[in-house]
């Protein structure tokens, strides 16, 4: 059973690359909807014990806590520092917890697909798959970034998210997860085109409602 750490930046500063699709008044609502659907799907995954959300945004903290997530405040500046902060909070309570870092912008996330990825990361249920490292990662749909990074008990997460993080995680010794059929775990949303692809996969109810409101406003 995994503890999943999800970083959520302050909503007012989130999703600036969606400027081609939504104005600055709407982007915070979309970012919150993405995070809520991501965390709800993670909590529904049978391989997940708990979700720790690292955020100092009061609205996001309140809404995500209402879903059942643990909120970890005091997030330091920067995505990777925030993830390390969440990892420390998890392992202060359980030093031998397997930890996964998950992007907050996966609105099409499916619990069953996340379970497949985590099973591969745990090197369980994969015929002929010999253990070959305590850390693993999943590349994003573009094949450049990373949407999920895992560390088994006794291993530090050592996150290197941002930009070309696929290459950095691979260079750090993490094993790349090469599963097919887990598109919802790979589809993060940064741009309007990303959002359109996520919608074609089928997004969660909060994102669907936020996008419907955006379309009505147009």
Residue positions forming the annotated binding site for phosphoenolpyruvate: 146, 162, 165
Strand order in the sheet with 175-176: 70-72, 48-54, 2-7, 99-102, 146-151, 135-139, 175-176
Binding-site entries: 146, 162, 165
- The closest alpha carbon to 71, from 49, 56, 82, belongs to 56
Count other Cβ atoms within 10 Å, centred on residue 124: 11
**Pair 10, 57: CB distance under 8 Å:** yes
Give strand ranges (E) for the chain: 2-7, 48-54, 70-72, 99-102, 135-139, 146-151, 175-176
List the end-to-end C-alpha distance of the chain, in Å, as a whole number: 44
């Amino acid at each position: 059973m995994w503890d999943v750490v999800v970083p959520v930046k302050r909503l007012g500063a989130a999703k600036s690359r969606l400027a081609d699709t939504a104005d600055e008044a709407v982007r915070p609502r979309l970012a919150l909807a993405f995070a809520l659907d991501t965390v709800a799907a993670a909590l529904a995954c049978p391989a997940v014990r708990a979700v720790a959300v690292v955020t100092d945004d009061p609205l996001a903290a309140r809404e995500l806590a209402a879903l059942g997530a643990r909120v970890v405040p005091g997030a330091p500046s920067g995505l990777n520092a925030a993830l390390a902060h969440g990892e420390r909070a998890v392992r202060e309570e359980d030093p031998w917890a397997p930890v996964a870092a998950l992007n907050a912008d996966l609105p099409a996330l499916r619990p069953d697909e996340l379970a497949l990825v985590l099973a591969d990361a745990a090197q369980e249920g994969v015929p002929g798959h010999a253990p070959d490292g305590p850390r693993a990662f999943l590349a994003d749909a573009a094949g450049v970034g990373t949407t999920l990074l895992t560390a088994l008990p006794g291993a530090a997460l050592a996150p290197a998210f941002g930009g070309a993080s696929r290459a950095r995680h691979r260079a750090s010794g993490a094993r790349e997860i090469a599963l097919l059929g887990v598109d919802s775990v790979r589809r993060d949303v940064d741009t309007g085109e990303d959002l359109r692809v996520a919608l074609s996969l089928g997004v969660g109810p909060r994102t669907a409602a936020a996008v419907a409101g955006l379309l009505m406003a147009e």
